[in-house]
Amino acid sequence: KQEVTQIPAALSVPEGENLVLNCSFTDSAIYNLQWFRQDPGKGLTSLLLIQSSQREQTSGRLNASLDKSSGRSTLYIAASQPGDSATYLCAVRQAGGYQKVTFGTGTKLQVIP
Amino acid sequence: DAMVIQNPRYQVTQFGKPVTLSCSQTLNHNVMYWYQQKSSQAPKLLFHYYDKDFNNEADTPDNFQSRRPNTSFCFLDIRSPGLGDAAMYLCATSRASGNSPLHFGNGTRLTVT
C-alpha cells in the first residue's frame, strides 16, 4: 500500500525567504507526482505535475523535483510571499493500470509579512 | 470552459437520511475519483472509476456507494449519514496516462445534523 508523507507538517517563514517542502512515498512504481495548494475551506489548485520519467518541472517561482528511485519529491518556492500561505499537498499516481492517486499528509505554510 | 462541476456546493442532511452528491465533467476523462476531506486532513480516496471499472478502497465504509451511469457523470451516495461523515467531498477526473494531471471540482461540503 502506497504511503505518502510530507515534512514538515507546518512551516512559518518571513516574507522573501526561499523554502523547500518535502514529499516522500514508499512505492516507487508511479506514473507521476502532482503538487497542489489548498486555501482554507477551498478546493485544490494544481501547481505542477512531474511524470515519472522527468527530474523536475518549473512554473514561475516554483520548482518541483522528483527522485523516483528514492521515493522523494521536493517543492522549492523562491522569494516567498504572504499570498503563498496555504496548505501544500503532493499526490502520487500509481503505475500498473490501476490509476489510484494517493495524497500526502500536507504542509501548512505561513509566510509572515 | 471544460471543467469538473460538483453540485451542490453545500449540502445539509439529517442523521440517517440518504444523500446523493453529484459530479459532472466536460473533459471526457475516463478516470473519476471521489475523495473525502475532513478538517485539517489530507484528501482520502473513497473509490474511483477507470472507465466502467469500479475500484473501492478497502477502508471505505459500506455506507458509501457510487454510480457512474456514463463518462460525464458520477454520483456519491451516502445511505445513512452519520455525524462522522460531515466533510468536504471532492471529485476529480483524469485521463489514464502518465502526463495527465488530476482536475478537481470545487467540492461539496456536507453537514450532518
- Mean pLDDT per 10-residue segment, chain B (113 residues): 88 97 95 94 93 91 95 96 96 88 94 97
pLDDT at B2: 62
Q: Which of B47, B94, B109, B110 to mutate to test the interface with A (most CBs of A within 10 A)?
A: B94
pLDDT at B70: 94
Closest CB from B33, B99, B107 relative to A101 = B33
What cell numbers appear for A56 in the block? 523536475
What cell numbers appear for B82 in the block? 452519520
Closest CB from B44, B45, B106 relative to A100 = B45
pLDDT at B5: 96
Q: Which residues contact A28 (CB under 8 A, 6 or more apart)?
A: A68, A69, A70, A71
Residues A62-112: tens digit of each pLDDT: 999 999 999 999 999 999 999 999 999 999 999 876 788 999 999 999 999
Name the DSSP letter for residue B99.
Answer: T
The strand pairing partners of B90, in sequence order, are: B35
Residues A34-59: tens digit of each pLDDT: 999 999 888 899 999 999 999 999 99
Chain A interface residues (partner B, CB cutoff 8 A): 31-32, 34, 42-44, 46, 49, 51-53, 89, 91, 93, 95, 97-106
Between positions 14 and 73 of B, the ones with CB within 8 A of A are 31, 33, 35, 41-45, 48, 50, 55
Q: Distance between the two ends of chain A, CA-based, in angstroms?
A: 41
Within an 8 Å CB–CB cutoff, is residue B101 touching chain A?
yes
CB neighbours (10 Å) of residue A9? Answer: 12
**Chain B residue at shortest CA distance from A95:** B98
pLDDT at A14: 97
